[in-house]
Structure 1
Amino acid sequence: MSTTQRAAVIHYLDTCFTHPVRDPLWGHIYLDPAMLPLLYSEPFQQLNRIRQLGPTFLVYPGATHTRLNHSLGVLHMARRLIRTLITHEAAPDLSLEGVKGFLCAALLHDVGHFPYTHSLKELPLKEHEVLTGDIIRRMPLAGILKDTLGIDPVIPARIVDLHLPADTCLEPDDGRNPASSDQEISFFRRLLSSPLDPDKLDYLNRDAYFCGVPYGTQDSDYVLSQVLPHPDAGIGLDEGGISALEHLLFSKYQMYRAVYWHRTVRIATGMIKKGLYLGIRSGALQTDQLYNLDDESFFKLADSCDAPEFGLISAVQSRRLHQTIYEAPFDNTRPQLQELCDLSRRTAMERRLADTLSRCLGKPVSEMHLLIDIPEAISFEVDIPVRTADGWIPYSRARSVFTPQVVRDFTETLRLVRIAVDPRVLPLPETAITALATELQHGVA
């Protein structure tokens, strides 16, 4: 990276971020005043009406922070990260427009996010990163990026949406290519999604803060002091920072165990997902109706649909949640359970279990009164390169307790398969619970 390029980027990062926004986690978050129109735009303000953790407030009442809070935090951490990396001689060639585009991508990375956190996962919908890329390239954000910040909106769109090609101009008719090179876009993509990306550094700290739990708190200053540019991975870690990464990985595990995958949160999420899936399948709801919603408009939509399946969503609003009657470790060696990772097959099994329960109780039980919850597979990423006295080595060869086997054990410990039923069905005789568990695990009643 040339001295002139580096000086221009450092000058921008150090002198242009003068507008303070008070944040309960980081204190002051400073913005480039030219970013304020992005902050005040409707697509970004909608994030203030979407809770970051969806139904988690049912367990942790303080967890009412929003995706707008989080997005400002990601910008804050992204600016600090790029400022650290650019001081190293090995920093790649970065244009000022590219750095601005990366910071705008960090700020806007969630503008296409669905309401109620991940309740809409597995449904036949566009990914929120794709929606984000589309929103960034449309007015009003595209106009603000071009006219106020002087950057091509294609740059942040390509950084966020990995479905967009990193090596092709998306707007050939505008007479120019984006200023950022293909290599620069790829570098920024790796920064925004890595084991030590600004998204994780904010959400683990922020979610722990608002939930009132100590598990996600990170020593962010030390983490950032240990990151280095890497020619292939984008970001690497000095050997002295291994303990910081271990702490982050263990914090992520604890947050999943205590917060993100808390039993009540899982059941509430599953009830919303089931109501939406059944509504889409019956034709009572069209997938296009689920785009560009916040929490309030999402529940208004559900309330306006006169179909029985949406009673599941109303029940979550009123905290009338299904109760867990069975849970066990998810054994991914069982084909029966592997098949249930598919939402349509899981729904079919729920109908079968409802029929089984009807026979056990001698009265009809609706499929809406029974829910199977299987968390998706997750990864504790440990593929970051580590710089030692002898050069770069893979993290798997570094001196860390987070060996591949430990990572697998963490994942297996977290994933539980559950059966939950409407409280109106309770209490259940042990024979009925045993019959449901047997059919779930082995496919036989």
Structure 2
Amino acid sequence: MPLNTSFHKQRWPIFNDPIHGHMEMNPLLVKIIDTPQFQRLRRIKQLGGKYLVYPGASHNRFEHSLGVAYLAGCLVKTLHDNQPELKITKQDFLCVQIAGLCHDLGHGPFSHVFDGLVIPKAKKIKNIKGLPDDIPEKWKHEQMSVQMFDAIVKSLKAENEDVLKEHGLDDKDVTFIKELIEGAKTAEWTYKGRDEDKSFLYEIVANKQNGIDVDKWDYFARDCHHLGIRNSFDHQRLLRFVRVCEVNGRKHICFRDKEADNVYDMFRTRYTLHRQAYQHKICNIIEDMLAEALIRADRDLHEGKPKYMLKISEAIKTAEDYSKLTDEIFEQILSSTADNLKEAREILNKIIRRKLPKFVGEARLTEKNISKEKLPETWKDAVEKYKSTDPTVSLKAEDFSVHVVDLDHGMKDKNPIEHVYFYSKRKPNEASPIKDYQLSSFLPKRFNEELVRVYYKITDGNKEEEKKKLEEAEKCFHNWCKSKFELK
């Protein structure tokens, strides 16, 4: 069924959004939005613990998901209107929007804190204790998004068996939506939702080809808005110059060559957000503490269970259990008076009262001979050899922690723009990577960097003593950097 104009003239519910304005939503999307699995996203912070540093960053996964669904619809409609030969159908349009809507259903408490810190730590504990390990090696929230979407489909069918059929969708479309959520990853076409001639649809919500997708378009605009950080990337302009072209035997989403700088600004915006907010020196330490609190509570949250059971992390086993897991666990632990949650509660109280590890210093890693794994060892050696200028102060290596932060433009050390295809005004159906001479000479030569950060962990002692230790630690850190990282 072609995506005709009458399809868009139906009266659809409207959501008023601070980023995109008035967003129309298909009634089927509204039915999904009104399920408990989706409403749960109202109680999960988009930026994890960043709101504890940036006061405005208290927005949730709920509104981000609405924005991604809206932008997915805008992109598909643009392609349909400009290139009718693509034969985009009403079902294609609806599936891509639903995938955008549901792509983040699988996020856990404090978003990436859960899948990036809590689950790996829980897995490590189980390995150390020699317990049965039922946590997948590389568990990611996208896997749970698919399970949660399955639960939504099941619940909708229980209410009205024909609800999907009423909107022209069948089991193949459900498979397609789940594939879109995970994104196309392989060179060989193994997907069942759509044939290879619709490969470009797999690049809209989760683009594994070059990272340009509507998910980023929304969270760049939304996060910058709430963080108070300027966004130099213009997704609305890029949307006007999008086309599908065949490159190397497969159809890809491509952009006008004159938009190369705007595309680069997108990747630069990603780096800026990570540098200034996502990997902020205090944000990172707070989120480490949040993860530690959840791990401490993991065993003890449910009384009467064997001590080796990791209950919070075990919620990933089923969508039903997982749907009950939100940021509200912070308040549940904090307000509890149970003795078995005392350690977790103390960590959260330290966060609230700002009893945080003190930041000692940061340096960019430039010495290739030192691996990340050996950094703590070299810092320990530096502390032990350091001769304090104040005889009343002695530094101990165990009082410090060393962290390494990776920053890049989206593709590790590679230039991401080399993986984007561009077309010209004269040849709108032919696309290729942009040439070096067509790009600004001000672009960086390197596209990733590693930062080493050191924190002083003791914060409950005498304030005057702590101040002296911190001063000596900063001197020790400078000496360490000068000898190891050629700091001038």
Normalised by the shorter chain, which TM-score bucket?
0.7 to 0.9
2:62 paired residue number: 68
The aligned amino acid for 1:418 is R
The aligned amino acid for 1:208 is C
Q: Is the 8 A contact 2:296 2:343 kept in 1?
A: no
The aligned amino acid for 2:19 is L
1:102-113 map, 5 Å? 102-113=96-107
- Residues 257 and 355 of structure 1, relative CA distance in 2, 3 Å threshold: closer
1:34-433 map, 5 Å? 34-89=28-83, 92-120=86-114, 121-122=116-117, 123-124=119-120, 126-138=139-151, 140-144=152-156, 147-150=162-165, 151=169, 152=171, 153-162=174-183, 180-183=193-196, 186-194=199-207, 195-213=211-229, 215-216=230-231, 218-231=233-246, 232=250, 234-276=252-294, 285-286=310-311, 287-289=313-315, 291-292=322-323, 293-301=325-333, 306=341, 308=343, 311-331=346-366, 333-337=368-372, 370-380=400-410, 381-382=416-417, 383-388=419-424, 389=426, 391-395=430-434, 397=436, 399-401=438-440, 406=444, 408-409=446-447, 411-412=448-449, 415-422=450-457, 423-424=459-460, 426-427=466-467, 428=469, 430-433=471-474
More displaced 10-residue stretch of structure 1: 394-403 or 327-336: 394-403
How big is the shift at 1:265? 1.4
| Helix, strand or coil at the partner of 2:164 | coil
Q: Is the 8 A contact 1:98 1:184 kept in 2?
A: no
Which has more radius of gyration? 2
- Residues 182 and 322 of structure 1, relative CA distance in 2, 3 Å threshold: farther
* Partner deviation per Cα, 1:134-166 (whole Å, 9 max, x = no partner): 11122x334438742333332211211259999
Q: Is the 8 A contact 1:75 1:104 kept in 2?
A: yes
- Residues 373 and 312 of structure 1, relative CA distance in 2, 3 Å threshold: farther
* Partner deviation per Cα, 1:82-135 (whole Å, 9 max, x = no partner): 111123438645443333221101001100012213223154262000110111
How big is the shift at 1:256? 2.4
Q: Distance in 1 between matches of 2:224 and 2:344?
A: 33
| Helix, strand or coil at the partner of 1:21 | strand
| Helix, strand or coil at the partner of 2:81 | coil
* Partner deviation per Cα, 1:256-278 (whole Å, 9 max, x = no partner): 23222222212212322345567
Q: Distance in 2 between matches of 1:224 and 1:86?
A: 13
The aligned amino acid for 1:73 is G
**What residue ranges of structure 1 are gaps of 5+ in the alignment?**
170-177, 341-345
Q: Distance in 1 between matches of 2:333 and 2:39?
A: 20
Q: Distance in 1 between matches of 2:213 and 2:109?
A: 23
Q: Is the 8 A contact 1:372 1:420 kept in 2?
A: yes
Q: Distance in 2 between matches of 1:299 and 1:335?
A: 42
Q: Distance in 1 between matches of 2:437 and 2:81?
A: 25
Q: Distance in 1 between matches of 2:234 and 2:434?
A: 20
How big is the shift at 1:316? 2.3
2:319 paired residue number: none
- Residues 300 and 19 of structure 1, relative CA distance in 2, 3 Å threshold: same
How big is the shift at 1:320? 2.7
How big is the shift at 1:206? 0.8
How big is the shift at 1:402? 7.7
Q: Is the 8 A contact 1:371 1:419 kept in 2?
A: yes
Q: Is the 8 A contact 1:23 1:29 kept in 2?
A: yes
1:174 paired residue number: none
The aligned amino acid for 1:255 is L
The aligned amino acid for 1:288 is E
TM-score, scaled relative to structure 2: 0.72
- Residues 17 and 135 of structure 1, relative CA distance in 2, 3 Å threshold: farther
Q: Distance in 1 between matches of 2:156 and 2:309?
A: 38
- Residues 354 and 116 of structure 1, relative CA distance in 2, 3 Å threshold: farther
More displaced 10-residue stretch of structure 1: 264-273 or 72-81: 264-273
Q: Is the 8 A contact 1:91 1:229 kept in 2?
A: no
Q: Distance in 2 between matches of 1:332 and 1:242?
A: 33
Q: Among the aligned pairs, what percent are the same residue?
A: 22
| Helix, strand or coil at the partner of 1:187 | helix
Q: Is the 8 A contact 1:13 1:83 kept in 2?
A: no
* Partner deviation per Cα, 1:234-284 (whole Å, 9 max, x = no partner): 211111222321332333233223222222212212322345567779957
**What residue ranges of structure 2 are gaps of 5+ in the alignment?**
121-134, 300-306, 317-321, 411-415
Q: Is the 8 A contact 1:47 1:67 kept in 2?
A: yes
Q: Distance in 2 between matches of 1:118 and 1:238?
A: 34
TM-score, scaled relative to structure 1: 0.78
Q: Is the 8 A contact 1:326 1:418 kept in 2?
A: yes
Q: Distance in 2 between matches of 1:336 and 1:159?
A: 37
More displaced 10-residue stretch of structure 1: 298-307 or 27-36: 298-307
1:175 paired residue number: none
Q: Is the 8 A contact 1:74 1:198 kept in 2?
A: yes
Q: Is the 8 A contact 2:69 2:97 kept in 1?
A: yes
RMSD in angstroms over aligned alpha carbons? 3.9
The aligned amino acid for 2:140 is E
The aligned amino acid for 2:212 is L
- Residues 73 and 267 of structure 1, relative CA distance in 2, 3 Å threshold: same
